Amino acid sequence: MLASLAQINSTPTFKEVQEQALKLGWDDVGITSAIIPEADIEAYKEWIDNERHADLEYMKNEIRCYPEKLFPGAKTAIIFISYYKQEKLPFRSDAGLVASYARGKKYHNVHHKRLKTFIQWLEKRSNKKNIAKGFSDSTPVLEKALAVQAGLGWFGKNTLLIHRKFGTFILLSGVFTTLEFSEKVLEMRLPRCGSCQRCLDACPVQAFDAPYKLNAKKCLSNHLIESKKELPIHVIENNPGYIFGCDICQDVCPHNARKPLSNTWDFSPENGMGAYLTLQDLEKLQEEPEKLYGTPLQRRGLKGLRDTAETLDLRITGF
């Protein structure tokens, strides 16, 4: 009896977890069970069966539905929110626009640093070792499904997590732990967009096969960030001016209206490649390609960015 009481007390409370999370720079946190809801597993399988994942072969790894396989003994998922919203800027004829999340530092690096410190704290606080595994995008996990279950927000028809306070301009990361928390939230996913379908209507390439069903084969974001192949003609013809990523289905979402910009220094344009890339910028990068390191644009690489710039037919200002 005494032993089990001591065990319970060695698990931090939600309030303690929240204090740590905010101290390390996250904007919100939720705690839920390390089990992916059945409805999300089914939707994921349907998405793969219909080949909506395009060339994203890593998405076929079903382990993302089973945290227990990824981290044996996982009981709890702690999900963190980072608010990153940057200024909504116009398209330019002399420069390609960079999506809001990608203007500063690479969020994976920002999160990995915080996750490491958080896990160290969790181990010290609970007096146990090897009790947690962190993730942020690069580990196969259905992150949004866990965030919804943790009560942090809900799915929008644009498939993104709409955080109840911050809207969609947020990034996710989390920790699986073998610790059992008594304060877990188990929220069910529910449709909350009502009759709104601004994101579906605004998408320049009609990438949504239906509400909540994004077809990556069509999506600009997929082609301008991930694709290693030549840009397909529908992207070239319908790209309004992005050189990396796409924010249109977020810009039109009423849940993002009148939100302040993020005050997290790591995500500000001064810390990365900024909001626009001109041909001159790309030429300079040819000399110093290391400038891309540590920014999200590294994923596409200089060649990919140049290929996109070519399709945008950029003109150099001042010439």
Enumerate binding residues for ligand SF4 (CB under 6 A).
156-158, 193, 196-199, 203, 205, 207, 214, 219-221, 246, 248-249, 252-255
CA distance 31 to 40: 18
The nearest distance, CB 101 to ligand SF4, in angstroms, is 11
Chosen from ligand B12, ligand SF4, none, partner binding at 196 (C-beta under 5 to 8 Å by type)? ligand SF4
CA distance 181 to 11: 7
**Using an 8 Å Cβ cutoff, are 81 and 147 in contact?**
yes
Q: How many CA atoms lie within 13 A of 50 on its CB side?
A: 15
Q: Are strands 153-155 and 161-163 parallel, antiparallel or unpaired?
A: antiparallel
Chosen from ligand SF4, ligand B12, none, partner binding at 137 (C-beta under 5 to 8 Å by type)? ligand B12
191 scored as a contact of ligand B12 (CB under 6 A): yes
281 scored as a contact of ligand B12 (CB under 6 A): no
Residues 137, 209, 251, 307: which is the catalytic one?
137
Chosen from ligand B12, ligand SF4, none, partner binding at 198 (C-beta under 5 to 8 Å by type)? ligand SF4
Identify the three-state secondary structure at position 3. helix
CA distance 247 to 256: 11
CA distance 317 to 256: 32
Is the Cβ of residue 33 or residue 308 nearer to ligand SF4 in the bound state? 308
CA distance 51 to 1: 53
Count the neighbouring beta carbons within 10 Å of the beta carbon of residue 42: 11
Is the Cβ of residue 15 or residue 228 nearer to ligand B12 in the bound state? 228
- What is the footprint of ligand B12 within residues 231-250 (CB under 6 A)? 245-247, 249
Is the Cβ of residue 24 or residue 89 nearer to ligand SF4 in the bound state? 89
Q: Which of 78, 150, 214, 279 binds ligand B12 (CB under 6 A)?
A: 214
- For residue 65 the two structure tokens come to 């539905």
CA distance 70 to 135: 11
Binding string, residues 84-113; x marks residues near ligand B12 by CB under 6 A: ---------------x-x------------
196 scored as a contact of ligand B12 (CB under 6 A): no
CA distance 173 to 209: 27
Nearest to 163 by CA among 148, 184, 174: 148
118 scored as a contact of ligand B12 (CB under 6 A): no
Kindly list the strands in the beta sheet with 95-98, ordered across the sheet, starting from the edge strand earlier in the chain.
Answer: 242-244, 95-98, 276-278
**Is residue 137 among the annotated active site residues?**
yes
The nearest distance, CB 207 to ligand SF4, in angstroms, is 4
Catalytic residues: 137
Residues that bind ligand B12 (CB under 6 A): 40, 43-44, 47, 56, 59, 99, 101, 136-137, 141-145, 155, 158-161, 168, 170-172, 189-191, 212, 214, 216, 219, 221-222, 225-226, 245-247, 249
